Amino acid sequence: MEKYDVIIIGTGIGGLTAGSLLSKYTKKKILFLEQNNVIGGMTSGFYRKGYYMEAGTLGISLVDYFRSLLHDISPSLSDEIKKQYYKYVICDKICDGRNIIEVEEQYVKMFPDNIQQIRTLFSFIKKKVSILKEFLHIFNHYQYFKSGFFGKTLILIKVLPVIIKNLWFFIHYYPQQINTLLTKIFGSVDTNPGYYFANITYYYNPAIFMFLGVWMEYEGGIGIAKNGYLELAEKIMDVALENGAVLLKNKKVVKIIIENKKAIGVETENEKYYADSIISNIDLKKLLLEMCPDFTFKKSAIKRITQARPSESGIILYMGVSISNDELKKYIPETEMLYVHKDFKPAHDLFSYLKTCSLQISPSYYLNETREKEGGTSIIIHTSIPPEHNMPWFDMSKEKYKEIKDSLITILIERMESLVPGISNKIEVIDIATPRTIENWINSSNGASGGFSWERKKSFMKTMLLTKVYSKTSVKNLYQVGMFSIQHGGVYGSSLSGMLGAELVNRKKF
């Protein structure tokens, strides 16, 4: 039986980063085990009837850091990500997300009875975003993690004056949850405009700095894989394979083999594989609660992980339409456009919510002809699900599930029809992903798409500080990377955790 230096469970962006760095810079023998026949997890894509669809991720936050990280894996990889800027459609006007004044004016039009409150909110956003910008100008997140102890200390010393100058912001506002602030400004988050702004981020009720991060993203831009995320995942995997790594697909790991409190290997449904270190890129809850039966965790650790709630997930509509890019651009001019419904209303269930919620619509204009279907366009539509409208996705029968999916699809097609008249006659592919689809795809509890919840008491993370990454587990030689090891996960965060997990195995920095 062949023994490896490192086994990586899962090929999400965290696992890919860890494996490519280790195989390239340490020449360790790496084995990737992936349960699916496609790599990349949520940072990937798939084909239906010749249409290429992104599985989940579209716009990468903190794109400059992510590009630096890719560059460190292999210089040409950073060219795979290009930068672009969000566009907003509010009250029928296309706004450039970088122009916050224009966005504010459109919200004033959208909520004419609450002008003063909208002004208060935007004055808050503008002031606080400028603090965060000043902070991030000095504090380069990626550089911080790349640095050793002295480098880190130096960065912290440099950033200290900004923290002291804005102490109230960092102590009072930074950890606060956004709904607290919105309730203060608007009186409630159950009615508009509070309800609207409470639902603006993908993650329910995040800390205020996450909410501010959304506005910073509009200014700073987001990354998009220039020819799709499947290609990005494959190119990162190539770095590992060229350096001797082995990839086995369709291998679902079911158990971690532990001897004398040390992880020594893994079991799939019918094989065992052994290695000196194991890096898990999968759901931390499942890893610790279900896959380590031979290890006795401390009671407090079990309590903490049992209580931790996975983040919410959303709905993704995948459409393939026989409309050329040029034709579709007359109606939807760019990719990653956020369409805000003029009559967005508080809803009593998911169906009514979907009728007026904001939709992020992303046609595949950015793909080159190797991925693009000739004469056609793939369109991905993302929206979040407020937790109160989530459904018992996992408990319903197949028939009921199909019925619900069909109803959701019908609502979203109607909404697309109002934007692109006649589109429903041009549909060649249509499907929808729910949290159940996402759980089936990446094996994350409740289809979590961003690791653990932001709800502070239910989060596994003890701190909201973005300088904290949990890469170690209580089991010796078993490490954790990916969205469950850093608050908010996301592509950059998950990838960064991959680098940090690899450093732990390597016992030194790359």
Ligand X SMILES: Cc1cc2nc3c(=O)[nH]c(=O)nc-3n(C[C@H](O)[C@H](O)[C@H](O)COP(=O)(O)OP(=O)(O)OC[C@H]3O[C@@H](n4cnc5c(N)ncnc54)[C@H](O)[C@@H]3O)c2cc1C
CA atoms within 13 A on the CB side of 282: 31
Determine which residue in the list 282, 284, 408, 478 makes contact with ligand X, applying CB under 6 A.
282
Strands annotated E in 230-289: 246-248, 253-259, 262-268, 272-280
Q: Write out the binding residues for ligand X, residues 36-95 only, by CB under 6 A.
A: 36, 41-43, 56-61
Q: Write out the binding residues for ligand X, residues 24-43 only, by CB under 6 A.
A: 33-36, 41-43
Binding mask 237-266 for ligand X (x = CB under 6 A): ---------------xx-------------
Binding mask 452-491 for ligand X (x = CB under 6 A): ------------------------------xx-----xxx
Q: Write out the binding residues for ligand X, residues 413-442 only, by CB under 6 A.
A: 438, 442
Q: Which is nearer to ligand X, 39 or 121 (CB)?
A: 39
Q: Which is nearer to ligand X, 172 or 249 (CB)?
A: 249
DSSP result, 285-301: HHHHHHS-TT----HHH
Cα-trace Rg, the chain = 23
Structure tokens at 492: 């950059």
> CA–CA separation, 281 vs 30, rounded Å?
14
The size of the chain, in residues, is 510
Minimum distance from residue 258 beta carbon to ligand X (Å): 16
Q: Which is nearer to ligand X, 198 or 481 (CB)?
A: 481
Q: Are 10 and 34 in contact (CB under 8 A)?
A: yes
Q: Write out the binding residues for ligand X, residues 324-383 only, by CB under 6 A.
A: 382
Q: Is the peptide bond before 346 cis (omega within 30 degrees of 0)?
A: no
Strands annotated E in 98-159: none
Q: Which is nearer to ligand X, 195 or 492 (CB)?
A: 492
Query: How many residues line the site for ligand X (CB under 6 A)?
Result: 40
Q: Which is nearer to ligand X, 131 or 466 (CB)?
A: 466
Our finding on whether 313 is near ligand X (CB under 6 A) is: yes
Q: Which is nearer to ligand X, 55 or 131 (CB)?
A: 55
> CA–CA separation, 52 vs 370, rounded Å?
10
Minimum distance from residue 182 beta carbon to ligand X (Å): 23
> CA–CA separation, 335 vs 348, rounded Å?
30
Minimum distance from residue 66 beta carbon to ligand X (Å): 8
**Cβ-closest position to ligand X:** 12
Our finding on whether 166 is near ligand X (CB under 6 A) is: no
DSSP state of 311: P
The angle, 0 to 180 degrees and rounded to 10, between the axes of the packed helices 13-26 and 490-506 is 40
Q: Which is nearer to ligand X, 60 or 461 (CB)?
A: 60
Minimum distance from residue 486 beta carbon to ligand X (Å): 9
Structure tokens at 42: 């949520």
Minimum distance from residue 115 beta carbon to ligand X (Å): 32
> CA–CA separation, 253 vs 281, rounded Å?
11
Beta bridge partners of 274: 3, 265
| Listed residue (457, 432, 444, 439) closest to 494, CA to CA | 444
Q: Are 285 and 295 in contact (CB under 8 A)?
A: no
Our finding on whether 11 is near ligand X (CB under 6 A) is: yes
Q: Which is nearer to ligand X, 12 or 213 (CB)?
A: 12
Q: Which is nearer to ligand X, 189 or 500 (CB)?
A: 500
Our finding on whether 18 is near ligand X (CB under 6 A) is: no
Please name the amino acid found at residue 392.
P
Minimum distance from residue 13 beta carbon to ligand X (Å): 4
> CA–CA separation, 199 vs 192, rounded Å?
11
| H-only helix segments in 420-480 | 435-442
Our finding on whether 316 is near ligand X (CB under 6 A) is: yes
Determine which residue in the list 106, 177, 434, 449 makes contact with ligand X, applying CB under 6 A.
449
Minimum distance from residue 26 beta carbon to ligand X (Å): 20
- Which residues contact ligand X by CB under 6 A? 9-15, 33-36, 41-43, 56-61, 252-253, 281-282, 313-314, 316, 382, 438, 442-444, 449-450, 482-483, 489-491, 494
